[in-house]
Chain A
Amino acid sequence: MATSAAGHEPAVASAKRSGVWSWITTTDHKRIGILYGVTAFTFFLMGGVEALIIRAQLARPNGTLVDAETYNQLFTMHGTTMVFLAIMPLSAAFFNYMIPLQIGARDVAFPRLNAFSYWVFLFGGLFLSASFLFGAAPNGGWFGYANLTSKAYSPGLNIDFWVLGLQVLGIASIAAGINFIVTIVNLRAPGMTLMRMPVFTWMSLVTQFIVVTAFPVITVALIFLLFDRFFGTNFYNVAAGGDLLLWQHLFWLFGHPEVYILILPTMGIVSEVLPTFSRKPLFGYAVVVYSGVLIGVMGWGVWSHHMFATGLGPVADSVFSATTMLIAIPTGVKIFNWIATMWGGRIELKTPMLFAIGFIAMFILGGLSGVMHSSPPSDLQQTDTYFVVAHIHYVLVGGAIMGILSGIYYWWPKMFGKVLHEGMGKAHWLFMVVGINLSFFPMHLIGLLGMPRRIYTYDTQLGLDTMNLVSTVGAFILGGSFLIFLYNVWWTRKNGLRAGNDPWGGATLEWAVSSPPPEYNFSVIPQVNSRLPLWTANGLNEIPEVPPEPIHVPGGTYWPILTAAGILALAVGAIMHSLWIVLGGVGFTVFSIYRWAFEPFEV
């Protein structure tokens, strides 16, 4: 082996590269990416089961599968899980694995901070999910409107779990956001100018800026709720002069940028997959990049379109309506550029490409229902109904999840050295497309015909029995499609085709190295001369199979996981109202930070 750990090793280097301990102490972005992916996918399945129970309950009017309290916990956890524990970390799996490879780096800027982010995410997700074990899962909706979430109206532990869990998760996100911005800005290979970066890396960069700026706002909103519940403050106390809309403004100031956090990375993935399988460069690269940046910036100006029913007044309604409509323009521009990428190409309808095309087809629909919401008077009949539920799920399942799956099928060979079975992939896609449309399209009508959202039952008088049943059938088809995927993963492990460096003929740097890449990624740091290095003559220097000089690879360390454990202890102590455990958690976290800061660790 040409690698050797030259230089200092941290005190707790893991000599082995296999075994549980090596994973617990890893600082390798590729391993962390896989950890994120597996964990996030597990949470995704959990959120999916929650959805199936919801749909089973709603298959018939006056259903009795679950009672009202359980239902309210289910839809709250479904939303919270899918947003924070599934989609965001699935994207993070790709940020972790692909960004250093795409920019020609050996790892991220702060590998230990990277590991820390993963462990905090895992612990936060476990904390939130543990609430089910206490029969006290959060039940105030994923958006937790005040004052339903105050102690007076939600006296149990449910909302405490929610607030504390989200605060913990926020730490993971902000830390990762800072890490990836520094990585992308500072660790690019020579010749990799910003306008030569792959679109996935660009969209990830924009996403991380949104994370770093939007999460502090929800942190404050949650601090106010936490203080109200724990210390009796008055932030959301009307009797003391408080304004309940403060929560909504703070939450949606975060919440709207959050939806761009959810969609931009997957738009980046699609922007990579389409050119590869069209054998043509992305049409309008600069425009696609600038559109993404514009969406990220403009996303800050639309938040009150979630509040059109609260009576903000005609001027505010008009302003937010206008800004919301404006943001449709860069979004549409991207779609046109994607179609133009395929236009005149030589399209290979492999599984990643099918998912990318499916993304576009369904995102168009979801985007159009979004435009309908952008008109406040029209929205007064749509908001808080199943029409919005349709919109959300077209953009998030038909959009984000399809895009993530495109990435999964696309990058699976790179990560695991095997190509997922093509036939099963196509079957997965087909069932998903049918399931998504069968489940979510009727919801547009169900909403327009008067069914509000977040209700555990509905009356047969509404005339919506059949449509709800159809929607439920669709949901189960959608859920079933993932069984195909899981079987594919298992089957491919044993029987899958081995992948070389570049099974799809991609243009970007990750395809220049083996599948999976060596621990050090590149035997020599690439010298990049083109936006499409593998498609351009002299686009890239020769990357030898064996490194000409020894490469230092940082060893493992357990301080990131221990610091994360300290933060978990803090949350546990808080929910137990135990000052000693809280102080213990703080102390242990500080202690771990010190050990982390002073251990010898060289990147």
Chain B
Amino acid sequence: MDSSRKKTHRDSSFVVASLIVPAATLLSGCAGQYPQSTLDPASGFGTQLSDLFSTIFWWAVVVFVVVEALLVYAVIRYRARPGQEGKPKPVHGHTALEIAWTLAPAVILLFIAVPTISTIFRVDGTPESGALEVEVVGHQWWWEFKYPEYGVVTANELHVPVGRPLALAMTSVDVIHSFWVPRLGGKRDVIQGRTTRLALTPDSVGMYMGQCAEFCGESHANMRTRVFVDTEEDFEAWVAQQLTPAPPLDSLDGLVRQGAEAFTKIRDPANHSCLICHKVEPLAFGAIGPNLTHVGGRTTIAGGTIPNTPEGLRSWLRNPPGEKPGDLPGRSMPKIDLTDEEIEALVAFLQSLN
């Protein structure tokens, strides 16, 4: 009975150990399966962090295996066996041993501390020269992105050109959030009243998912982001698109026009009117919610949580608090009693805003 107990203890330690090694190796390659993996970086910043983690990780594995083995060995080897007489030799201490096992961890820590400190200074967020500057503003519960160089303002989905250094200057208008796109690198909190920075150079074209990583209220889980790393040409095209205003009302017709009218209609209470909170240049100039001038070109809506499809738009418009819980009077999107026709029209209108 007892031997199976110690065996199980030994087993569980080794199970744990044998899980780490293959798991880590396996997972570092499976980005497609794990779109927010920190182990498959797509930027120099991300690579430096995962390399450092690797160094520390392997030292930790060594220490883990050695110390656990000593523990397990001691438990098995020095088990009381039936028929043993007398008491074991009382050993109160051993100075040389104490010094040795104080110095050994200290030396290992040195091997961790040196690359740590050099990496700290290398990734401290100082923008590189010629970097593309993007201002990131955290809101409950969506991300606003501004490109001062181009005069572009968008929300939730960030487009950047591959290979060009990116400098994020970040803040929040309300509570503390944290901007985190794991495959592009580490996270940085965004704090009202302060500007925090991230600097990275994306090295592969693709779409990278991220989400808020500092608890920020009811829909913290629903504050997501996507970063599109485009080729230089695609990025220029995207910028040009963003700078084009939406068509004026008079040039619209059909369902899209009806949608534009529904969008700009003044309702009661006033904050149920889309134009109060949202900007759609040149039709609406609200500044509380995300800029929707080019929302049609985004892949998601509602803070990156709902696919930007007619079905997605419909369920969002029908009941925003149902999709994204949390009532922030004056700041979160309320449930507006829209008729089905209005919803269809708005869907058409919003989808037209490329």
| Given known contacts A145-B215, A364-B64, A426 and B187 CB-to-CB distance under 8 angstroms | no
Instruction: Name A357's contact: one of B9, B116, B214 (CB within 8 Å).
Output: B9
Is A19 an interface position by the 8 A CB rule?
no
Instruction: Name A384's contact: one of B68, B102, B178 (CB within 8 Å).
Output: B178
| Given known contacts A147-B192, A372-B53, A457 and B37 CB-to-CB distance under 8 angstroms | no
Contact pattern, B 1-45, Cβ under 8 Å of A = 1, otherwise 0: 010011011001101100110010001001001111111000000
- Output the nearest chain A residue to B60 by Cβ-Cβ distance: A368
Instruction: Name B214's contact: one of A145, A317, A343, A378 (CB within 8 Å).
Output: A145
Return chain A residues, CB-CB under 8 Å to B250: none
In chain B, residues 181-210, which have Cβ atoms closer than 8 Å to a Cβ of chain A? 182, 185-189, 191-194, 196-197, 209
Indicate if the CB atoms of B193 and A244 lie closer than 8 Å: yes
Taken together as a complex, chains A and B put the C-alpha atoms of A158 and B348 apart, in Å, by 42
Return chain B residues, CB-CB under 8 Å to A451: 36
Indicate if the CB atoms of B74 and A342 lie closer than 8 Å: yes
Return chain A residues, CB-CB under 8 Å to B57: 372
Indicate if the CB atoms of B188 and A426 lie closer than 8 Å: no
Is A67 an interface position by the 8 A CB rule?
yes
- Output the nearest chain A residue to B74 by Cβ-Cβ distance: A342
Instruction: Name A68's contact: one of B23, B90, B197, B218 (CB within 8 Å).
Output: B218
- Output the nearest chain A residue to B170 by Cβ-Cβ distance: A311
Return chain A residues, CB-CB under 8 Å to B221: 68, 455-458
Indicate if the CB atoms of B185 and A380 lie closer than 8 Å: yes
| Given known contacts A313-B124, A450-B36, A463-B33, A445 and B71 CB-to-CB distance under 8 angstroms | no
Indicate if the CB atoms of B192 and A452 lie closer than 8 Å: no
* Smallest beta-carbon distance B84→chain A, Å: 6
Is A94 an interface position by the 8 A CB rule?
no
User: Which of A336, A357, A358, A380 is most buried by chain B, counting CB atoms within 10 A of its CB?
Assistant: A380
Is A220 an interface position by the 8 A CB rule?
no
Is B248 an interface position by the 8 A CB rule?
no
Is A12 an interface position by the 8 A CB rule?
no
Return chain A residues, CB-CB under 8 Å to B101: 332-333, 336
- Output the nearest chain A residue to B215 by Cβ-Cβ distance: A454
In chain A, residues 273-300, which have Cβ atoms closer than 8 Å to a Cβ of chain B? 278-281, 283-287
In chain A, residues 369-400, which have Cβ atoms closer than 8 Å to a Cβ of chain B? 369, 371-372, 374-385
Indicate if the CB atoms of B71 and A360 lie closer than 8 Å: yes
Is A486 an interface position by the 8 A CB rule?
no
Interface locus among B105-113, B231-239, B271-279: B105-113
Is A546 an interface position by the 8 A CB rule?
no
| Given known contacts A340-B97, A377-B49, A433-B12, A454 and B38 CB-to-CB distance under 8 angstroms | no
Return chain B residues, CB-CB under 8 Å to A377: 48-49, 52, 116, 119-120, 123, 186
Instruction: Name A344's contact: one of B48, B78, B117, B219 (CB within 8 Å).
Output: B78
Return chain A residues, CB-CB under 8 Å to B119: 375, 377
Interface locus among A125-133, A249-257, A322-330: A322-330
* Smallest beta-carbon distance B54→chain A, Å: 9
Return chain A residues, CB-CB under 8 Å to B98: 284, 287, 333, 337
* Smallest beta-carbon distance B220→chain A, Å: 6
Indicate if the CB atoms of B70 and A339 lie closer than 8 Å: yes
| Given known contacts A354-B9, A361-B9, A449-B38, A339 and B91 CB-to-CB distance under 8 angstroms | no
Indicate if the CB atoms of B105 and A238 lie closer than 8 Å: no
- Output the nearest chain B residue to A280 by Cβ-Cβ distance: B88
Is B302 an interface position by the 8 A CB rule?
no
Taken together as a complex, chains A and B put the C-alpha atoms of A451 and B38 apart, in Å, by 10
Return chain B residues, CB-CB under 8 Å to A378: 49, 52-53, 56, 116
Is A48 an interface position by the 8 A CB rule?
no
Indicate if the CB atoms of A376 and B116 lie closer than 8 Å: yes
Return chain B residues, CB-CB under 8 Å to A343: 74, 78
Return chain A residues, CB-CB under 8 Å to B102: 329, 333
Taken together as a complex, chains A and B put the C-alpha atoms of A455 and B224 apart, in Å, by 12
Instruction: Name B117's contact: one of A242, A321, A332 (CB within 8 Å).
Output: A321
| Given known contacts A377-B49, A452-B211, A371 and B37 CB-to-CB distance under 8 angstroms | no
Instruction: State which size class the interface on A falls in.
Output: 35 or more
- Output the nearest chain B residue to A75 by Cβ-Cβ distance: B215
Is B75 an interface position by the 8 A CB rule?
yes
Instruction: Name B8's contact: one of A67, A281, A430, A444 (CB within 8 Å).
Output: A430
Contact pattern, B 236-277, Cβ under 8 Å of A = 1, otherwise 0: 000000000000000000000000000000000000000000
Taken together as a complex, chains A and B put the C-alpha atoms of A344 and B120 apart, in Å, by 45
- Output the nearest chain B residue to A535 by Cβ-Cβ distance: B90
Instruction: Name A281's contact: one of B60, B70, B92, B215 (CB within 8 Å).
Output: B92
Return chain B residues, CB-CB under 8 Å to A360: 71
Is B283 an interface position by the 8 A CB rule?
no
Return chain A residues, CB-CB under 8 Å to B52: 375, 377-378
Indicate if the CB atoms of B215 and A243 lie closer than 8 Å: no
Indicate if the CB atoms of B8 and A375 lie closer than 8 Å: no
Q: How many chain B residues touch the partner (CB < 8 A)?
A: 100
Indicate if the CB atoms of B78 and A463 lie closer than 8 Å: no
Instruction: Name A450's contact: one of B37, B140, B196 (CB within 8 Å).
Output: B37
* Smallest beta-carbon distance A87→chain B, Å: 22
Is B143 an interface position by the 8 A CB rule?
no
Is A5 an interface position by the 8 A CB rule?
no
Is B284 an interface position by the 8 A CB rule?
no
User: Which of A343, A375, A434 is most buried by chain B, counting CB atoms within 10 A of its CB?
Assistant: A375
Return chain A residues, CB-CB under 8 Å to B123: 377, 380
Indicate if the CB atoms of A280 and B91 lie closer than 8 Å: yes
User: Which of A238, A311, A336 is most buried by chain B, counting CB atoms within 10 A of its CB?
Assistant: A311
Is B213 an interface position by the 8 A CB rule?
yes
Indicate if the CB atoms of A437 and B16 lie closer than 8 Å: yes
Return chain B residues, CB-CB under 8 Å to A284: 92-94, 98
- Output the nearest chain A residue to B211 by Cβ-Cβ distance: A452
Is A497 an interface position by the 8 A CB rule?
no
| Given known contacts A68-B221, A278-B78, A377-B48, A368 and B39 CB-to-CB distance under 8 angstroms | no
Indicate if the CB atoms of A461 and B35 lie closer than 8 Å: yes
Interface locus among A163-171, A194-202, A345-353, A590-598: A345-353
User: Which of A342, A354, A357, A374 is most buried by chain B, counting CB atoms within 10 A of its CB?
Assistant: A342
Indicate if the CB atoms of A449 and B188 lie closer than 8 Å: no
Return chain A residues, CB-CB under 8 Å to B282: none
* Smallest beta-carbon distance A233→chain B, Å: 16
| Given known contacts A313-B124, A430-B8, A375 and B38 CB-to-CB distance under 8 angstroms | no
Return chain A residues, CB-CB under 8 Å to B8: 430, 433
Taken together as a complex, chains A and B put the C-alpha atoms of A314 and B124 apart, in Å, by 6
Taken together as a complex, chains A and B put the C-alpha atoms of A68 and B211 apart, in Å, by 16
Return chain A residues, CB-CB under 8 Å to B2: 349
Is B287 an interface position by the 8 A CB rule?
no
Return chain B residues, CB-CB under 8 Å to A372: 53, 56-57, 60
Is B180 an interface position by the 8 A CB rule?
yes
Instruction: Name A325's contact: one of B71, B90, B112, B121 (CB within 8 Å).
Output: B112
Indicate if the CB atoms of B92 and A344 lie closer than 8 Å: no
Indicate if the CB atoms of B117 and A318 lie closer than 8 Å: yes
**What are 30 A-B interface contacts by the 8 Å CB criterion?**
A67-B325, A69-B326, A145-B175, A145-B215, A147-B192, A284-B93, A287-B93, A309-B186, A311-B196, A311-B197, A333-B105, A339-B71, A340-B91, A346-B84, A361-B68, A364-B64, A365-B16, A365-B64, A375-B53, A376-B116, A377-B52, A429-B5, A450-B37, A450-B38, A450-B209, A451-B36, A457-B221, A462-B36, A462-B209, A463-B35
* B residues in contact (CB < 8 Å) with A: 2, 5-6, 8-9, 12-13, 15-16, 19-20, 23, 27, 30, 33-39, 48-50, 52-53, 56-57, 60, 63-64, 67-68, 70-71, 74-75, 78-80, 84, 87-94, 97-98, 101-102, 105-106, 109, 112-113, 116-117, 119-121, 123-125, 140, 174-176, 178, 180, 182, 185-189, 191-194, 196-197, 209, 211-221, 224, 305, 325-326
Besides A287-B98, A448-B27, 14 more A-B contacts (Cβ < 8 Å) are: A238-B192, A284-B98, A317-B124, A318-B117, A321-B116, A325-B112, A333-B98, A344-B78, A365-B16, A377-B52, A377-B123, A378-B56, A381-B185, A437-B16
Closest 5 CB pairs of A and B: A450-B36, A380-B186, A455-B221, A238-B193, A311-B196
